[in-house]
Structure formats: C-alpha cells, structure tokens
Amino acid sequence: MRFFNTAGPVKFEIHYCLSMRLDISQIKNLIDQKSYFALYAPRQSGKTTAMSALVDQLNREGKYKALYVNVESAQAARGRYLEGIMLIVSCLKAAIQLTFGPDDPALKFFEGKKLVASEATGDELQNFLAYWAEHSEKPIFLCIDEIDALIGDTLIAVLRQLRAGYAERPKHFPQSLCLVGVRDVRDYRIWSDENQQSIIGGSAFNIKTESLVLPSFSLQEVRELYQQHTEETGQQITEDAINYVFEQTQGQPWLVNAIAYEACFRDVTDRTKVIDAAVMERARNQLIIRCDTHIDALIARLHEPRVCRVIDAMISGRGGTQDIPDDDLQYTIDLGLLVQRDNAFQIANPIYKEILPRAIVSRTLSNTITQQLSSYQNPDGSLNMDALLEAFRQFFRENSAIWLDKFDYKESGPHLLMMAFLQRVINGGGKINREYALGTGRVDLLVIFREQRIVIELKIGHHPKYVQDGLQQTAKYMDTSNATTGHLVIFDPSNTSWDEKMYRRVEEVQGKKITIWGC
C-alpha cells in the first residue's frame, strides 16, 4: 500500500504523488538555449522530487546526459573551500556512478587522484566539469541541489568556478545547469573569511538567465493527490475535507501530505469509514501540537534577526513595507513563512498563523499562565469573556514589564501575551482564529466557543484616534465574522500610570455594542 509522504523525496512506487509539477516545455527551452538557471521554493515543497523526475525523463529521451547531485554534505566544510570543493567533486563522482554506471568515461578523471583537501588546488570542480563535457557523447545538463546549504568561501568558490567555465559550454562545460535551493541565488549574502567581506550571490553568479519558483499545490492538485488514496484503499475523502485542508494549508505540500497521513493512517484506519472535515481538523491540531520536523524547522527560523523583524511587524500590525528592508521581506517569503496576497504581506497559511505566536512565547510562558477554562465559564457552560479579559489585564499589569523584556519580539509583545493567555485558557474548549498582516495597525482575533463567536481587536497606541479607528475596525470584523460580541483591547505603551491606563467602557458603533479595555 502506498501512503502520504512526509519525509524526504517522493518515491513513486511507495508514495501517493502528483505528476510533474514543473513546466517541462519551459525548462527544455532553457536547456536548449544553453541557459544556467535557478529553481527555488521553501523546504519540503517537492523540489528534489521534481528535479529528479526531470533528470530521469531527460535521460530516457536521450538528447542530453542529465545528472542530479545533492551537495548538502559539503556544508560541513563551511569556509574551508578546498575541503568543500573536494567533497562536491566526490558527490559528483558518486552520482555519476549511480546514474550511468561504473564504466562511464567521466570517471577516468578520478584515476590516480585522491579527493582530499591536502592535495587540492582549488579548481577541481571546474576542471572535472570541463573534462566530463569534453568526454561526453551528449551535451550535459547538471542539476545541483541544496546549493544554498553551502557556506562562506565554499559557496563562493563553487559559484565562481561555474561562472568561469560558462563561456566554454557546451563542448568544454555543461550545456545547461540548474541551481536548486530554498532561496534564489540573487539573495545570497555570503561572508568570505578569505576576503573578510560579504559577497552578493548575484555578483558571484551573474550568468543566471532565469529564476523559477516551484508553486504550492492548487486545490485541484490536492484533490488529485487524495483521490489516489481513495482509488487504492476505497476510503472516501469528502469534498468538504479537501476544501478544509486546502484552506488551512494553502497547498503547502508537506502540510497537505502530513494532515492526510495523520487522518488516514493514524486517526481513521478503518477504510470503510469516511474522512470528513472534522477528521482533518483533528489531524491539523495534532500536527500543531507535535511540531513535527517541518514545523520545528520553521520555528527555529523565528529568532533569526531578519525573520524576527518581519514577523514582529506582522503580528503587531504596526509599520509597513517601507519600514522593513526588501531583502528581509524576500528572505521570509523564500522560507515559506510569508506570502504576498491581495496586495498585502500575510503569513503563508492559517496553520502557520497559529503556530508562530505559540512558538514565539512558548519558552517564556510555558509555566507562567496557569489559568483554567472552568474559572471563566458561566453556569450554562458558555464563556465569560468579560471575566477572562479582566483576568488578562491583571496578568498583563503584573507581568508585562518582566516578560516583554525577554521577548525578541518587542513590537508585538502585548499581542503575543494576549494570544498566549487566551490559548492557554480556551485550548480544548474552543478555537481562536487569528488575522494579522503587515501595516494593518491591528490584530483580529475570533474566539469560537460552542455557539459564541467573540471578536477581540488588539491595538497598540494611546492617542484617542487609535480607539476610534479600533471601534470601526471591530464593528466591521464583527459584521463579517457574524460575531455575537465584540471587544477592543488597547495597549498603551506610554509612561502613563497603570491606574490611568486601566479602564473599561462600552460603546455602540454601527448598532453593535463593543467593550473597550485599556491596558
């Protein structure tokens, strides 16, 4: 039985998988035109699977000699570029043996050579690629994966040797080449220990013709992937379930596979039972709780200064794109954390929207917030949001000065404390939908608890304009989300005394009663 893949490249014989997701005609045109190009996408998006399939197809067609090689092992060399180059040449040797067999003419290059740094001259990669092209009966297409795993002078040396041989293609160097990684080569910022300066990837590799991006799954592709499970097992997956997964993941390939694996191979293993949206929601929640490798790798990025600057502004809603370096925005997009949608920068999907605030505060607040849901329920079991927000205000008054000082996320600290507090209390009894985007000036929270739909709008500022804007925004969000009640929480960052900051009043806007909470 095949299954949904959540680790490493897809193996077509054991995993459910989609057909080629690249535009083959576009790539073949680039190869025919003797182009050097890049393919990039976030981790676990299917780059390796797609390029391996492309290489296999090209070799079957017979026009080119195509090779896929992964050079991640050379990351260990870091700035020791002689060692790094020899490791990469070793990777090429092994890939050729595996792909074309031990008698391939290119392997004669290695006769009598020791692939060790102590005997390296530093130009072995360029020399080998020239030798291979000269002794190949067909033009060469080379795909180098995990190129951006290389560090410092090793990466600089690779890019420069590829550039040096470029003019000699196709008789004396590979006809076409694709660099595959998480980021586009133009965005590399490479520190050279040898030169004691930063090198821009675009300048070290200025022969790139084009950069291709591997897209996420479309709704139809999610449907096709899940249909394979139904065809092989008979287990039905409802259309609502498929739509729910696409809405929650926005087609991110690992998430699409991981939710389905959790639902079909851990939760509901009886193939006579239908997988519906409720099953998929349980699977989604399990992924968030477990923080599997893919999610954990994203979380590790959150404390990088470049990512922190973007996500901090995103969660706080303050500032705009003009306040953040373009390189930081692009880097966060390349990592898969951010997308530009509807003319705004947003977190890539609802699952990440929930994971990121939890992850940022988890280390700091894991044992600090001890409130229990039962303390904030009315006799009929409904949620007493007034009591909950009053308790948060007191918590914020007592702890914010200490805890906010520990956050890397200074701008969004109050919002993160609020989200952590609500999550701890409501977790298991309801759910929280979060909406935040760069430059909106606010965070929208929708608490769904049984039949209650409660809007909580968060803003930072002490000018009366913030309150008036917040009231209008809260009323609008109450309308669009069909909320039963609305609250506006204003965090005052000024040096005003706590007694002055802490106020509560009710106002009516557009026929809706909204409680304002000063903090």
Residue 140 confidence (pLDDT) above 90: yes
Q: Where are the domains of the chain?
A: 24-213, 219-290, 358-518
Could you tell me which residue, 176 or 113, shows the higher pLDDT? 176
- One fold for 24-213 and 219-290: no
Give me the mean pLDDT over the 103-109 stretch: 95
Q: Return the HEC string of 9-30.
A: CCCCCCECCCCCCCCHHHHHHH
Specify the residue for token string 């050097």.
36
Give me the mean pLDDT over the 227-254 stretch: 97
* Tens of pLDDT, residues 451-496: 999 999 998 887 788 889 889 999 999 999 999 899 999 998 888 8
Question: Which span out of 225-239, 299-313, 336-350 was modeled with the highest average pLDDT?
Answer: 225-239
Residue 28 confidence (pLDDT) above 60: yes
Query: What pLDDT is attached to residue 191?
Result: 47
* Tens of pLDDT, residues 271-310: 999 999 999 999 999 998 887 777 888 888 888 888 998 9
Query: What pLDDT is attached to residue 199?
Result: 57
Query: What pLDDT is attached to residue 198?
Result: 54
* Interacting residues of 21 by C-beta distance below 8 A, sequence separation 6+: 46, 50, 214, 215, 221
Query: What pLDDT is attached to residue 319?
Result: 64
**Cα 177 to chain centroid, rounded:** 26
Q: Which residues pair with 181 in a beta bridge?
A: 40
* Tens of pLDDT, residues 399-424: 888 777 777 787 888 888 888 888 88
Give me the mean pLDDT over the 330-341 stretch: 88
Give me the mean pLDDT over the 309-337 stretch: 83
**What is the secondary structure of 121-162 as a DSSP string?**
-S-HHHHHHHHHHHT-SS-EEEEEESGGG--HHHHHHHHHHH
DSSP-based three-state secondary structure for 3: strand
CATH fold, domain 24-213, is Rossmann fold (3.40.50)
Query: What pLDDT is attached to residue 121?
Result: 84
* Interacting residues of 475 by C-beta distance below 8 A, sequence separation 6+: 486, 509, 510, 512, 514
Could you tell me which CATH class the domain 219-290 is placed in?
A: mainly alpha
* Tens of pLDDT, residues 166-178: 999 999 999 999 9
Question: Which span out of 106-115, 193-202, 206-215 was modeled with the highest average pLDDT?
Answer: 106-115
Which is nearest to 74 in space by CA: 143, 177, 153?
153
The whole-chain average pLDDT of the chain stands at 88
Contact 328, 338 (CB under 8 A): no
Query: What pLDDT is attached to residue 219?
Result: 97
DSSP-based three-state secondary structure for 59: helix
Query: What pLDDT is attached to residue 36?
Result: 93
